[in-house]
Structure 1
């Protein structure tokens, strides 16, 4: 295994071809648009996908824009790695991810409650 840092060369609209280091978790840049500005280059990790009956409900993956402006809008990614969550459309830090997980746990409990209510109704109870 190589001890050399991973790098990638990408075309940009404002700086031409640039070679930058790639974090170990980056899954590559297959969808890089050569019309991207240098500051908007993004590293993306593999997606974690929640699918139910052939429908994607949520996706999440590590992201980082290492050359973004230091005053980038919170929640839209930036120099610090985060996790991009769709369709939420935000990049979350660890606290935000734990809050999302808690909200999903609560939602799952509500869905189970509905399943119990429906089961009772369908078995002839509480008409």
Structure 2
């Protein structure tokens, strides 16, 4: 049997913290030692959402295992932000709708991954 993977991260308030690291976590290469323990977050690889080459948002599976004011559960998060500077003609709106359909499929795939993770297949 394989031992669970762990990560040791320096924190401002608790020194070195040893945590189990889920198999879906992309790692903590960008971790800063002045981070508070409650702010440590495991992130899966991000799914970028784009329209005409421009980022309109992203989706990610994440968990803050030491959170104090929010859930510690593994969840999917989506951030959307798009502002059209020129507006859309009918063709442009159809184009955006088609891209959003594609992103809906990607979000369903992410939901499937999260379901497997929550079922124990991804931990």
**TM-score when normalising by structure 2:** 0.61
Larger relative contact order, structure 1 or 2 (CA cutoff 8 Å, min sep 6): 2
RMSD: 2.5
Aligned twin of 2:48: 49
**2:74 is the alignment partner of 1:81:** yes
Other structure's SS at 2:38 match: helix
Number of residue pairs aligned between Structure 1 and Structure 2 = 87
- Structure 1: unaligned runs, 5 residues or longer: 89-109, 116-127
Displacement of 1:86 in angstroms is 2.1
Q: Which runs of 5 or more residues in structure 2 are unaligned?
A: 82-91, 98-123
Q: CA–CA distance in 2 between the matches of 1:65 and 1:33?
A: 15
Q: TM-score, normalised by structure 1?
A: 0.59
List structure 1 runs of 4+ shifted beyond 3 angstroms. Answer: none
Q: How far is 1:40 from its partner?
A: 1.2
Structure index of larger Rg: 1
Q: Give the equivalent residue in structure 2 for 1:111.
A: 93
Deviation at residue 48 of structure 1 after TM alignment: 0.7
Question: What does the per-residue CA deviation read over 1:54-73, in whole Å, with 9 as the maximum and x for residues that have no partner?
Answer: 3111111101101112xx25
